[in-house]
Amino acid sequence: MNGEIKITSALISVFYKDGLEPLVRMLDKAGVTIYSTGGTFTFIESLGIKAHTVESLTDYPSILGGRVKTLHPKVFGGILGRRSLASDIAEMKQYQIPPFDLVVVDLYPFESTLASGAPHEDIIEKIDIGGISLIRAAAKNYRDVLVVPSSKHYGELEQILTANNCTTTIDERLRFAAYAFAESSNYDSAIFNYMGEQSGHREFRGTAGEARKLRYGENPHQKGEFFGNLNEVFEQLHGKELSYNNLLDLDAAVSLIREFTETTFAILKHNNACGVATRPRLTDAWKAALAGDPVSAYGGVLITNTHIDDEAAAEINLLFFEIIVAPGFEKNALELLKSKKNRIILQAKSFDSQPKQFRTILNGVLQQDRDLKTETSSDFRVVTQSGPDSVAAKDLVFANIIVKHSKSNAIVLARGEQLLGSGVGQTSRVDAVKHAIDKAKAFGLDLNGAVMASDAFFPFADSVEIAHQAGITSVIQPGGSVRDEDTIDYCNKNNLSMVFTGSRHFKH
């Protein structure tokens, strides 16, 4: 019989009432006896549905300002009692403890209270005690009880109740128990992280949502999963499933494009930009971005911060690429881009990025703040006799954004808000400079009057000298080398402008 249990009694105690009405009406129609607390009881009664207060069961009122409502043997006994154990049944009968087949509970909004900037006392009051205890108890006794720990599971429960005449199977109860422990562990992790930060006691606790199985990891012999809700980030309009490597590229692409407010197009390969351009018209931005490295663009990830129109789509469609991301697509543009069945088309949504970054290493985890610092011309410290003019300053900001999002050691060359060449992931900075110059020359791009951005300081003047010989006239870098004066002297002798930002942007 798959451990089937007919729901005849339910305990419902929720903070949020949204979406509760259809479920309560369904239970009432099925003749389920409902017990409830406080505001939930009032809400159910307002629907014209009969319910029993928990106080009528326990003979104790809600006390301590609502801190203690359900913490009573008659409540927890009805949840934890094992129906297959004669001694449990006998004790429940002896102490007049009614069994609960269904427990519907959610938790006080701790995380949203914390995020609101509320005072410490208010945050502490949003640490749920009764709710979390009910959830854990019902989940532990999943053989006899179905627990619903959040309103996001109401729809699934309603489908089960409708299909099976208010009867649940052991597999369904086990699945909901897993939902419950996921909810409780997320909740406890959030509380610990706050209390740990307040007290100075730090341990790693992190949660990231439900698993999404991927075809494989970085390589076919590696298993891969994504934990989180991609539906909050993109709407997939077309194409095959996203892979592990796709997601790494998308993370890099989204992080880069978010830095730009004017119409910009970027092309990425292996997490690095191989083409970026800002233009008034999207088609022009696309063409300029592609010109930066049309070879690497093949099979790449395309992203823009502007709706894709028919004209741009016609040009973009000439290239073989794997993914395209935009905030929107004109109807005909979308249909044209759908002409390749495996091409992944994503409509970007507004979402909040994780403020922390994590990486597993050795036998532990590294954590750091996300690099959210983006320099503007007001952050420039001109260290040469002449500073950049307004056009060069705009290009310096543009290049510095791209180098920030490139693998170290990284150098970016740009002019007219177009990426001309980059050297990324190099073991020496001078090699990165040479690689960037070679890239630009390979595609016939003129570096005369271009600017150079570096993610970290130049240890010697040789990098600037090589760049100058290639046509570079202005440089942006963090500064901080013991040999900064050598680089500044070279710039002054050769009429280059150079600015320091004071901020390094290593990316490994």
Q: Evaluate the CA torsion angle 304, 310, 314, 317 in order and state its sign.
A: positive
> Are the beta carbons of 508 and 484 closer than 8 angstroms?
no
> Are the beta carbons of 37 and 52 closer than 8 angstroms?
no
Looking at residue 343, its pLDDT comes to 96
Classify residue 278 by burial, with Cβ atoms within 10 Å: 0-12, 13-18, 19+: buried
Looking at residue 145, its pLDDT comes to 96
Looking at residue 1, its pLDDT comes to 47
Active site residues: 140, 270
Chunk the chain into consecutive blocks of 10 residues (it has 508) and report each block's average pLDDT, rounded to whole numbers: 85 92 93 91 93 85 75 89 92 92 93 92 91 94 96 93 91 95 92 90 83 93 94 95 96 97 97 97 98 96 98 97 97 96 96 90 93 95 97 98 97 98 96 97 97 97 97 97 97 97 96
Helix axes 130-140, 170-199, angle to 10 degrees: 140
Q: Evaluate the CA torsion angle 312, 315, 318, 320 in order and state its sign.
A: negative
> Are the beta carbons of 257 and 365 closer than 8 angstroms?
no
C-alpha–C-alpha distance, residues 203 and 194, integer Å: 11
Alpha-carbon Rg for the chain in angstroms:
30
Looking at residue 505, its pLDDT comes to 96
Element (H, E) at 288: helix 282-291
pTM for this predicted structure: 0.85
